[in-house]
Amino acid sequence: MENKTALVLGASGLVGAALVEILATRDYYQQIHLLVRRPLQLASGRCIQHVIDMDELQRYNHLFEVNDVFCCLGTTIKKAKSREAFRRVDYEYPVEAGQLAAQHHVDGYYIVTAMGASSRSSIFYSRVKGEVEDKLASLQLRSLHIFRPSLLTGNREEYRFGERVAEKISPFLNPLLVGPLKNYRSIKASTVALSMALTAEKPVKGTYVHLSHQMADQVARHS
Ligand SMILES: NC(=O)c1ccc[n+]([C@@H]2O[C@H](COP(=O)([O-])OP(=O)(O)OC[C@H]3O[C@@H](n4cnc5c(N)ncnc54)[C@H](OP(=O)(O)O)[C@@H]3O)[C@@H](O)[C@H]2O)c1
């Protein structure tokens, strides 16, 4: 086992939970710290959870003394109830985490944003995702990996109409989306998570964007 440590934000989410499960079953990280706002049932003794208020992230500065930081935070406008509250979760927390990661000279910062992320987008969601990417890229992190999935599928308790439809039709629709359209195929949250884990195990300097079909291809090559 490598003597490496990781910090995960958003560990209770669809991608985050899959990521923690993958990291805990692989041998790359000896310790996996989770920043959560409610206690989780932990399957692995290698995971250490810290129940915190994300608004006070600065107080947990010391927890960023790790090799790699993974950010799987996110919400929806429906859940957040306002654009400001959405932006806090999808922009401010990831940027603050990025600043703390940069201060501690972590090896890598790995974040999930979304397909279509662009600070020039007229769509609020895509614009916030683009802005968080741009801000993180300006922080001079040693290594920044941005994962931009298309619609996610997986077992989510909460009802999200688009995801439920995608789950049902993706076995038929995905094979029809070929060539440049491949990027529009829905993707399993576990595939995104495995792509993040595999990428972190081969550290490279610089900023990289991983599109949905690239994550799917990487994971298919691996299995
Ligand atoms: N859903 C899709 O189809 C889709 C497609 C493309 C990209 N994405 C993006 O991919 C990322 C991961 O998505 P996901 O579906 O895995 O997310 P998710 O299941 O909704 O999980 C989001 C995570 O963020 C945490 N979180 C939300 N609000 C918070 C707050 N105010 N304070 C602290 N933590 C908070 C949640 O914690 P709690 O469990 O405590 O709420 C959870 O751990 C997100 O950035 C999302 O925008 C999603």
Taking only the tens place, the pLDDT of each residue in 8-41 is 999 999 999 999 999 999 999 999 999 999 999 8
Ligand 1 centroid vs 44 CA: distance in angstroms? 22
What's the chain's length in residues?
Answer: 223
Q: Residue 162: which domain range? A: 4-222
Residue 159 among the catalytic residues: no
Active site residue 208: no
Residues 126, 208: Cα–Cα separation, whole Å: 18
What is the Å distance from ligand 1's center to 163 Cα?
A: 14
- Closest ligand 1 atom, CA of 73? 24
Q: What is the mean pLDDT of residues 168-184?
A: 83
Q: Which of 125, 135, 184, 208 is catalytic?
A: 125
Question: For the domain that residue 197 is a member of, what is the CATH number?
Answer: 3.40.50.720
Kindly tell me if the per-residue pLDDT of 172 is higher than 90.
Answer: no
How far, in Å, are 30, 34, 38, 68, 104 from residue 63 at the CA level? 15, 9, 17, 11, 10
3-state secondary structure of 56: helix
- Greater confidence (57 vs 166) lies with 57
Q: What is the pLDDT of residue 184?
A: 85
In the reported structure, the alpha carbon of residue 22 is separated from the centroid of ligand 1 by a whole-number distance in angstroms of 18
d(CA 154, CA 209): 23
Average pLDDT over residues 169-195: 88
- The model's confidence at residue 1, banded by pLDDT at 50, 70 and 90, is low
Burial per residue of 71-93, b for 16 or more beta-carbon CB atoms within 10 angstroms, e otherwise: bbbbbeeeebeeeeebbbbbbbb
Non-local CB neighbours of 79 within 8 Å, separated by 6+ positions: none
* Average pLDDT for the chain: 94
